[in-house]
Amino acid sequence: MEPQLNENPLIKKWLRLKKSRNTKYDYLVRITKVLEHFNMTPEELLEMSPKEARELCLIYQNENRHLSNNTILGRQTAVASFMDHYDKPIKWKRNTKVKPRPDIKSHVFSNGDLSKMFEAGNTRDKCMLSLACSLGWEISSFVDFKKETLHRLLERQEETGEEFVYFQEIRQKTGEPRLAILNPLALKWSRKWIKESESMPKRERESSEESFDFKRRVSDIFDLTGKGILNRIKVLGRRAGIKTTGNLRFHNIRKWVMSGLSRSGLNEFQIKYVLGKSIPLSDGTYLQTLEQEVRERYPKAYEEYLNLETRVPRKAVTALTGEIEQLKEENIELKSQLNGQRPEMLKLREELDDLRKMLKKIVKQED
């Protein structure tokens, strides 16, 4: 269900300035949690002075120590944003708020993990995983990706014969342009799934296309809600026998893509351009050459790190093969050296035997 505060006039006016549905939903849920904790209304919060609102946030922080720092910070930010919208900006004192921390409760995907999950899935699962690992999008944008758009891109690829399909897209959360990529594996399984799904009836659901909550929205491609896609990731993890170190999160596939791009040599701006992250205005002129640079470097990144049909990154295999060949050469060289030193070793052994005999004689004489 959508939080009831969605209909509050003060909340509606505030959220209208947020860029995307997902941002609106996140802020709505966060401020709802704080207000419910204190059994308050938005009107009562707005009656507070900035100092009182700041103290309220700090009390919430102290009374919810079981929550992660990032969760508390997100909710404090929502309250501050609401107050600031109505010209009551909160001034934070140094070291009063908790500090953000890296996510240590989620499983970090390896190439082996995702490859095993890919092998354990059916056609839809393989399409879903290959697309997620090709695009590197956040779950909300992934859910909103239209089947018609995918179909059009597949038709374009058939006509041109290009191995990789590149297309421009605007990330809703940031409003930033990004260069989306469909790699060969994603193209292959998207084509298979679209053909297979044509004969499948779609489930009947209440319309949720305009929902703020991506978990309720239905993927046009997979006929699954956002929550259903998240659940499939967990199911595939169990089927594949993944030894998890934390929660299996869709967002960590995005991190895996980012890591693969970085390891293959793409620079900061190129990675941000692929993922739709903000690029400083001072570097805006760099955008003109980014697409060409990504087109040149991505195929190598795919082959070395981002191909789910290879459990071990190709670059690691190449490096290991090189090390094995080097060890073979060293082994041959050592054998050659030993063979060359054999006469000397035989002579040393004879001298050692003579010394042993002399030692025995000396011992007998003393007895």
What is the distance between the alpha carbons of residues 259 and 55, in angstroms, rounded to a whole number?
40
Exposure string of 97-123, with b = 16+ CB inside 10 Å and e = fewer, is bbeeeeeeebbebebebbbbbbbbbee
The H or E element that residue 181 is part of is strand 177-182
Domain ranges of the chain: 4-85, 111-312, 322-366
Question: In this predicted model, what pLDDT tens digit does every residue of 216-275 receive, in sequence order?
Answer: 899 999 999 999 999 999 999 999 999 999 999 999 999 999 999 999 999 999 999 999
Residues of the chain with pLDDT under 70: 1-3, 207-210, 281-286, 311-345, 359, 361-367
Question: Residues 275-286, buried b or exposed e (16+ Cβ, 10 A)?
Answer: bbbebeeeeeee
> Architecture of 111-312 per CATH?
Orthogonal Bundle (1.10)
Prediction pTM value: 0.77
pLDDT digit string, tens, across residues 6-25 = 889 999 999 999 878 888 98
Continuous segment of H or E residues that includes residue 51: helix 50-63
36-47 burial, b if ≥16 CB within 10 A, otherwise e? eeeeeebeebee
Q: If you average pLDDT over every residue of the chain, what do you get?
A: 87
In the structure encoding, which two tokens stand for residue 256, read together?
């895996």
Q: Cα–Cα distance between 46 and 229 in angstroms, integer?
A: 38
**37 vs 121: CA distance, rounded Å:** 42
Q: In angstroms, what CA-CA distances link 214 with 22, 23, 208, 224, 317?
A: 7, 11, 9, 11, 39
pLDDT at 343: 67
